[in-house]
Amino acid sequence: MRNLKLLSVSFLLLVGTHFGFAQLGFSHEIGAIVGPVQFRSDYGVRQDEGTNFGNSGYGIGIIHYLNFSYSAECDCYTTDSYFNDHFKLRSEISYNQTKLDHHGKWAEGSSVEAAKLRAHTGEANNFDIGMQLEYFPLSIRDFQAFAYRFAPFISLGVHYTAYRPKAATSFSDQNILNADNFWGAWEPGSIDPSPGSTWSVVSSLGVRYKLSRDSDLMMDLRMQYFGNDWIDGLNHQLDSNKHNDWLIWLNFGYIYYLD
């Protein structure tokens, strides 16, 4: 319930901010994104390809852009400035899910500890809302006028993330509160699938393709770093645990120009 209230407030602030910009006459774009996610967490071994590809899921989202280069009020270009011609403000509501297993050398073999790792499974479920500022090195006006078909961009922003992980084990009595069912070196309390919320930093590298006067295709490679290490429901607190949870998301999108 607390997460729902916080998300509601965040959404209202997001809508309010965009409504304020809309009063200045900037044009709008809407779109949808979908694509595969690699969740980099405490499951598996860092930089192990079996872990990275084994712990993959999907993400979907709805996006909205404020286009500063064009004015909906006069159906004309805005005042020519570097900012207006090279930046867009993107807001997003998205969801990603990844099923998690232990991969790598520690989960291999016939030892009891390896069996505990193989028996331990989880799931990351994250709902995101936030904004990113996108920078286009090439002219947005020229792109809209078909001077070129491809427009690369980079972005940076902040998202609010509500997470609801899952954890399970098929070892022994299958009780996730029993530390004896999990890797023996972990501290008690390392498994906690409680829901929560945090902030995350989002950066991406992408490109748009001009499909028609009113629509673009988009490909975007994102890295998202979360503000804590409980997004996957596991925080084993060992010396090898050097980073919070993070993910890589390759998404593909369709964008339509409203104005």
> What number is the average pLDDT over the span 181-207?
93
What pLDDT score does 109 carry?
A: 87
Contact 247, 40 (CB under 8 A): yes
* 54-75 tens-digit pLDDT: 889 999 999 999 988 765 554 5
pTM score of the predicted model: 0.86
% of the chain exceeding 70 in pLDDT: 83
Question: Where in the sequence is the domain holding 138, given as residue range(s)?
Answer: 2-257
Structural domains in the chain (count): 1
* 125-173 tens-digit pLDDT: 999 999 999 999 999 999 988 999 999 999 999 999 999 999 999 999 9
Q: Considering only 11-15, 103-107, 196-200, which range has the smallest mean pLDDT?
A: 11-15
CATH label of the domain that carries residue 172? 2.40.160.20
Question: Average per-residue pLDDT in the chain?
Answer: 87
Cα(208)–Cα(218) distance, rounded to whole angstroms? 4
Q: pLDDT band at residue 37, thresholds of 50, 70 and 90?
A: very high
> What number is the average pLDDT over the span 207-214?
96
Q: Which helix (H) or strand (E) holds 31?
A: strand 26-40
The identity of residue 224, as a single letter, is Q
What pLDDT score does 198 carry?
A: 96
Contact 172, 237 (CB under 8 A): no
Is 41's pLDDT higher than 60? yes
What pLDDT score does 239 carry?
A: 73
* 6-29 tens-digit pLDDT: 555 555 555 555 555 555 556 889
The identity of residue 195, as a single letter, is P
Contact 64, 91 (CB under 8 A): yes
- The closest alpha carbon to 115, from 175, 158, 170, belongs to 170
What pLDDT score does 70 carry?
A: 66
Is 221's pLDDT higher than 70? yes
The identity of residue 104, as a single letter, is G
What pLDDT score does 21 carry?
A: 52
> What number is the average pLDDT over the span 105-120?
92
Q: pLDDT band at residue 243, thresholds of 50, 70 and 90?
A: confident
**For 237, how many CA atoms within 13 A lie in the half-sphere containing its CB?**
9
What pLDDT score does 3 carry?
A: 52
The pair of three-digit structure tokens given for residue 219, joined into one six-digit string? 């490909």
Task: Read off the DSSP letter of residue 234.
Answer: B
Q: pLDDT band at residue 242, thresholds of 50, 70 and 90?
A: confident
What does the DSSP assignment read for 184-207?
Answer: TTSPTT-B----EEEEEEEEEEEE
In this structure, which long-range contacts are made by residues 216-220, counting pairs with CB atoms below 8 Å and at least 24 apart in sequence? 216/254, 216/255, 216/257, 217/252, 217/253, 217/254, 217/255, 218/31, 218/33, 218/251, 218/252, 218/253, 218/254, 218/255, 219/250, 219/251, 219/252, 219/253, 220/33, 220/250, 220/251, 220/252, 220/253
Instruction: Please give the angle made by the CA atoms of 196, 89 and 197, to the nearest 5 degrees.
Output: 5
Query: What's the helix, strand, coil split of the chain in %, to 5?
Result: 20, 50, 30
Contact 88, 65 (CB under 8 A): yes
Is 30's pLDDT higher than 90? yes
CA distances for 200 relative to 69, 203, 205, 223, angstroms: 29, 10, 17, 10
What pLDDT score does 233 carry?
A: 95
Is 245's pLDDT higher than 90? yes
Cα(236)–Cα(210) distance, rounded to whole angstroms? 47
Q: How far is CA 111 from the centre of its chain?
A: 36
